[in-house]
Structure 1
């Protein structure tokens, strides 16, 4: 299929000061500003032109900060619930599904909405970019970036906790320009982030940026664009489980763009975000009325992460306090942070499978459980327009239907390894790319 695709026109803007500036290619911070703040993309197209479904996530390219089109993506799919809606007595429950569900048009090969991030970030990179992209992940993000970067010849280093390596499955082999390293058993996502930060100090390697990367956030924001386009209006409530909260920040930002568009309503949807108990850092800070994250002993945090089923919801230092972060999103849009137990998660996953017909990831089941609890408590009106963001699903079906292989780590590091050790290992792993002048930053 021939695609007539042109780079999206946009500026970047500091949330704190409103300063606007050009994207220098991989700008993650506002120039000349010392106070922590996220930056946003301000698009030339004020009204969203949704393109053909065959373009996947790039059907929303008017509001994606991308320089090029990457083939093989699948956009989130929204549909009106019947089974779960009837069970809960809801008139207007809409499910936005990211994963594998061919009958509904969802064909994400990694079964997670993290593909929306990976394709958007890859699309932001220019064809002739230099360096090795570095991504830290608790599992699903790594799988998505590995698939997208392998298929599109983007050199990539993944940093993942060893205990989460069971997430590194693929329906076709990953090419050698994508490398995987892990932090030893007993470590968590924060340890993987620390390793990735060390890697980024090595010449030739550069960080993807996490929540600071406008492409990652606006890629995730396509879930809300999908919902609003299908429903014809901005939802009243947005339910999603969070680890970093970046998806909820993205939803808030997409909501604001839709308000400016003017065709989808002028209201802000309440952000109903949830975490998996006992690992509740965002929940605890929000309930304490604190902009800052509360103190959390690292060893206690690791033990809590071992207990939860939703391992991907395990970010110890989320973009919660930063200007434009989750604290600001919740205060501006309204909403709450909810806690869900492992038992509630499992019951919700079983209920979704029986009533809607597909399996969901543990994190998505946390969101389903939080919706159930809020409806049962009478805190959500029967006729409210609700968006339930199923951030991953169809994995069990995919693994039944496909033949998969697992990616093995190229090296396993101890927690907080010395920078010299990291540099020695990574330069050897990427020796062909490292010696290629095109890939040196």
Structure 2
């Protein structure tokens, strides 16, 4: 294992500016009068990228981690030729998160959720006896399951039953990883509700989602990869969003890179897209509303069923709070976009033809929104554009492999009895 010294950092409440120490797993500032994210402020103001042998931890200067876990890979950024030529863009850079060994990309879960898992799990304090709880619509669960299994970290996953086909693995997982599900017809919000019931037991602790600095700063490595490869901060950042956490992370990375002083001083425009008809953040943004608009639960579930990119179906995203997606879009002059299943499918096919590898539906939504913005004349041909391909290479990775699937240890109804949930999940880890 490479030599590793954790970087020193403090925490800052975005709403109030209060700076304070991390107690080891701080997720929020309880003194803040309004809901707010907290950010890490790193002692090292200039990023020193470590050798590739560090994997994902090559960016450890700006990660709130205590150690390096085995098996990690970093995002890979390269200059597009085929897709760039097709779109008439002179400076299109693709940050690829997935399996594409030809360019050096070796995320074996094929998703940028690995950047979250390797960061969050490396933040866990030594000697933690409780079980980590993660709710997911699919890709996040696969990433956390692999990282926790490989590194023997106890994990309880909560994933909608309709999404468990996403939980494929090259090898059988260590029994330290357990899965519970909400029944058919449930969505990501139901999985979150189920995980929150489990967290009422003292045996478990919350990963924290967007509130966890390790999750956001792990995702931010996509922008660190792009900027250090290009040599400057991009003008535009394109990504599909379900929670918007990746885009918030991109904004925060941008601010650190400006402070670094070597990569320019521009704020890249966050161009984030949702998969129609599931577009709650798009609707709120179009109404110029910081608050999310009312969204009937049954309609939300139906809309989530329709979209190809199930990972984008978050009904309670970190949009409104201080430092959330609304603030990120306002600060960067960004835009909330939308694309349909059909547009994303066409974009995915185009990417495979021109760049040589398959990409996930969410990445297809991001590319479809870029295609539409270029067609509308909104992007100058010489603009430096970063396309965050948040997952790809699954077809290539799975070829010829006998896959293992994680099965639920228990499937609960959509409105489960809280006492039954607690008793069941506690028994799983006895």
TM-score norm. by structure 1 comes to: 0.97
Give the aligned partner of residue 434 of structure 1.
Answer: none
Report the Cα offset of residue 54 of structure 1.
Answer: 1.2
Kept after mapping to 1: 8 A contact 2:170/2:401 = yes
Report the Cα offset of residue 401 of structure 1.
Answer: 4.0
Report the Cα offset of residue 103 of structure 1.
Answer: 1.1
Give the whole-Å Cα distance in 1 for the aligned partners of 2:92 and 2:363: 15
Give the whole-Å Cα distance in 1 for the aligned partners of 2:23 and 2:209: 18
Give the aligned partner of residue 283 of structure 1.
Answer: 282
Report the Cα offset of residue 11 of structure 1.
Answer: 0.4
Give the aligned partner of residue 25 of structure 1.
Answer: 24
SS at match of 1:312: helix
Give the aligned partner of residue 364 of structure 1.
Answer: 363
Give the whole-Å Cα distance in 2 for the aligned partners of 1:142 and 1:397: 21
Kept after mapping to 2: 8 A contact 1:161/1:185 = yes
Kept after mapping to 2: 8 A contact 1:36/1:323 = yes
Give the aligned partner of residue 437 of structure 1.
Answer: none
What pairs up with 1:195-210 in 2 under 5 angstroms? 195-210=194-209
Residue 401 of structure 2 corresponds to residue 402 of structure 1:
yes
Kept after mapping to 1: 8 A contact 2:243/2:317 = yes
Give the whole-Å Cα distance in 2 for the aligned partners of 1:231 and 1:285: 34
Give the whole-Å Cα distance in 2 for the aligned partners of 1:231 and 1:79: 8
Residue 113 of structure 2 corresponds to residue 110 of structure 1:
no
Give the aligned partner of residue 273 of structure 1.
Answer: 272
Gaps of 5+ in 1: 432-441
Give the aligned partner of residue 241 of structure 1.
Answer: 240
Give the whole-Å Cα distance in 2 for the aligned partners of 1:130 and 1:63: 27
Report the Cα offset of residue 3 of structure 1.
Answer: 1.5
How many pairs align? 430
CA RMSD of aligned residues (A): 0.7
SS at match of 1:421: helix
Give the aligned partner of residue 143 of structure 1.
Answer: 142
Give the aligned partner of residue 66 of structure 2.
Answer: 67
Residue 314 of structure 2 corresponds to residue 315 of structure 1:
yes
Give the aligned partner of residue 182 of structure 1.
Answer: 181
* Stretch of structure 1 that moved more, 30-39 or 346-355: 30-39
Give the whole-Å Cα distance in 2 for the aligned partners of 1:370 and 1:358: 19
Give the aligned partner of residue 44 of structure 1.
Answer: 43
Kept after mapping to 2: 8 A contact 1:68/1:126 = no
Residue 304 of structure 2 corresponds to residue 305 of structure 1:
yes
SS at match of 1:179: strand
Give the whole-Å Cα distance in 2 for the aligned partners of 1:295 and 1:249: 23
Give the aligned partner of residue 413 of structure 2.
Answer: 414
Stretches (4+) displaced over 3 A = none
SS at match of 1:329: helix
TM-score norm. by structure 2 comes to: 0.99
